[in-house]
C-alpha cells in the first residue's frame, strides 16, 4: 500500500513539477534555438467568430492597426452562422484588407477554417479569436520565426487582463505552461498551440475533421510533415478572463473533452520510434496530465489506509485536505490571492478533466461552442 501511495503521488505531480524540471535541464543540454530574422511574407489573419457583436469591431480595428505593410496583410472574419449583428458590423468597416466570409448555417469553427483557408492570399496564416487583442508589434514578432526553414508553426501565449484595474495578470499555472512549451520548442517541438495566437505556413495546412480541436491537431499535422512547432515567449495577446467559476469550468470541460478526443484519434504520435522527443513531450505534457485526476484520487484514498504506518502519512493527508480547503475557499470567493487563485484553477481544471474523460468516452465531441461572453 505504501509503494502504491508513493507511486500515485509521484504520478500526480509528474506533469506539473517533475516534467518541467526535466525539460529545463534537457533544454540546456540539447536546446537548439531556431533562426529569427526580419522577413515580410504575405500574411492572412483569420478571425473566427460566432455572435461576437460585443467585441468584433474592437478586434478588427486592433488587427488592421498592427505594424505590418498594408499591401502584405489580409484579414478574414470567418463568421460561423452568426445570428446577431456580427456580420453587419464587419460589413460596415471599409478597408480593402478586410474580407467577411459569412456562413448561413452553423457548422463549427473547425469546419469553417477548412472552407476559409483555401481562399486566403497569405503564405503565412494566423489564427485568432474575436476576443483576443494583439500588441502593435505582434505580427513582426510572429513572422520573424519563419525565417528558419524548419519552423512550420509558431504560437504564443495569452495574458489575462485584470478586470478591476486593467493591468495584465498571468497566473502561476499559465507561466509554467508558457515556459514548458518554450523549453519543448528548444529541444524539438512544443505540444499544442494557443488558439488565440498561432500561425502556420499555408502549404502545411491539412483539412481537419469537424470534431478536431484545431489548436491541438494542426500542430500535429505540421510535425507529421517534418517541421517544427515552436513557442516564442515574446509573442502574446491579451484577453479578459472568464467571468465566474461556472463559465471557466464549462470552458475547461470543453477543452478537456476535445483534447482527449484529439489524443485518441492521433495515438500514432505516442510512438517514440517515429516521433522521438515529441512523443515524450506529448505523453508527459498531455497524457499524464489528463490522467492526474485518477492518480490524485488514488493518492487520497490510499492515504487513509496507511495513516498508522508513519507520521509522514498523517502530514501528507493533512496537506491534501488543506489544499482542498484553500481551493474551495477560492472557488466560493471567500479569499483572493496568488496561491488561492492557483489552487482554485487547479481544482477547476482537474475536475473538468475528470468530467472530460467520461464525456469523451460517451462520444461527446463539442464540435460547436457558444462563447461565454
- State how far the alpha carbon of 19 is from the alpha carbons of 261, 284, 288, in Å: 23, 7, 10
DSSP string, 273-313: HHHTHHHHHHIIIIIHHHHHHHHHHHHHHHHHHTGGG-HHH
The predicted pLDDT at position 163 comes to 53
List the chain domain ranges.
Answer: 1-30+243-373, 43-241
CATH class of 43-241: alpha beta
Q: Are the C-beta atoms of residues 189 and 238 closer than 8 Å to each other?
A: no
Exposure class string for 333-356: b at 16+ Cβ within 10 A, else e: eeeeeeebbbbbbbbbbbbbbbbb
pLDDT reported for residue 335:
86
Of 295, 205, 211, the C-alpha closest to 259 is 211
pLDDT under 50 in the chain at which residues?
165-167
Q: What is the pLDDT of residue 370?
A: 66
Sign of the alpha-carbon torsion through 167, 173, 174, 176: positive
Cα gap 209→217, rounded to integer Å: 10
Note the pLDDT of residue 171: 64
Give first-to-last CA distance, the chain, whole Å: 47
Q: How far apart are CA 75 and CA 43, in angstroms?
A: 8
pTM: 0.92
Q: Distance between CA 229 and CA 198 in Å, rounded?
A: 10
Amino acid at each position: 500500500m505504501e509503494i502504491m501511495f508513493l507511486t500515485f503521488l509521484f504520478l500526480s505531480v509528474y506533469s506539473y513539477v517533475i516534467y518541467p524540471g526535466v525539460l529545463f535541464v534537457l533544454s540546456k543540454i540539447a536546446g537548439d534555438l531556431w533562426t529569427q530574422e526580419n522577413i515580410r511574407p504575405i500574411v492572412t489573419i483569420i478571425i473566427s467568430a460566432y455572435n461576437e457583436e460585443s467585441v468584433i469591431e474592437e478586434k478588427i480595428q486592433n488587427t488592421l492597426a498592427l505594424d505590418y505593410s498594408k499591401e502584405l496583410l489580409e484579414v478574414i472574419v470567418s463568421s460561423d452562422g452568426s445570428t446577431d449583428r456580427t456580420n453587419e458590423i464587419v460589413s460596415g468597416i471599409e478597408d480593402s484588407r478586410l474580407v467577411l466570409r459569412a456562413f448561413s448555417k452553423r457548422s463549427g469553427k473547425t469546419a469553417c477554417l477548412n472552407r476559409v483557408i483555401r481562399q486566403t492570399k497569405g503564405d503565412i496564416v494566423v489564427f485568432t479569436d474575436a476576443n483576443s487583442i494583439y500588441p502593435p508589434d505582434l505580427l513582426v514578432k510572429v513572422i520573424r520565426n519563419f525565417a528558419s526553414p524548419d519552423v512550420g508553426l509558431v504560437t504564443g501565449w495569452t495574458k489575462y487582463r485584470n478586470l478591476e484595474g486593467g493591468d495584465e495578470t498571468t497566473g502561476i499555472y499559465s507561466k509554467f505552461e508558457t515556459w514548458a512549451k518554450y523549453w519543448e520548442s528548444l529541444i524539438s517541438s512544443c505540444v499544442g498551440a494557443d488558439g488565440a495566437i498561432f500561425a502556420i505556413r499555408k502549404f502545411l495546412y491539412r483539412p481537419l475533421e469537424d470534431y478536431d480541436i484545431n489548436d491541438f491537431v494542426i500542430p500535429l499535422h505540421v510535425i507529421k510533415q517534418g517541421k517544427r512547432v515552436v513557442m516564442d515567449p515574446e509573442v502574446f495577446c491579451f484577453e479578459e478572463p472568464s467571468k465566474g467559476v461556472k463559465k471557466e469550468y464549462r470552458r475547461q470541460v470543453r477543452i478537456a473533452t476535445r483534447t482527449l478526443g484529439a489524443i485518441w484519434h492521433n495515438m500514432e504520435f505516442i510512438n517514440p520510434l517515429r516521433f522521438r522527443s515529441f512523443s515524450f513531450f506529448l505523453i508527459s505534457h498531455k497524457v499524464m496530465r489528463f490522467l492526474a485526476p485518477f492518480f490524485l484520487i488514488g493518492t487520497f484514498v490510499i492515504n487513509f489506509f496507511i495513516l498508522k504506518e508513519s507520521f509522514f502519512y498523517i502530514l501528507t493527508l493533512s496537506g491534501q485536505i488543506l489544499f482542498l480547503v484553500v481551493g474551495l475557499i477560492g472557488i466560493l470567493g471567500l479569499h483572493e490571492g496568488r496561491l488561492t487563485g492557483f489552487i482554485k484553477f487547479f481544482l477547476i481544471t482537474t475536475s473538468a478533466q475528470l468530467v472530460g474523460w467520461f464525456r469523451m468516452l460517451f462520444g461527446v465531441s463539442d464540435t460547436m461552442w457558444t462563447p461565454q461572453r
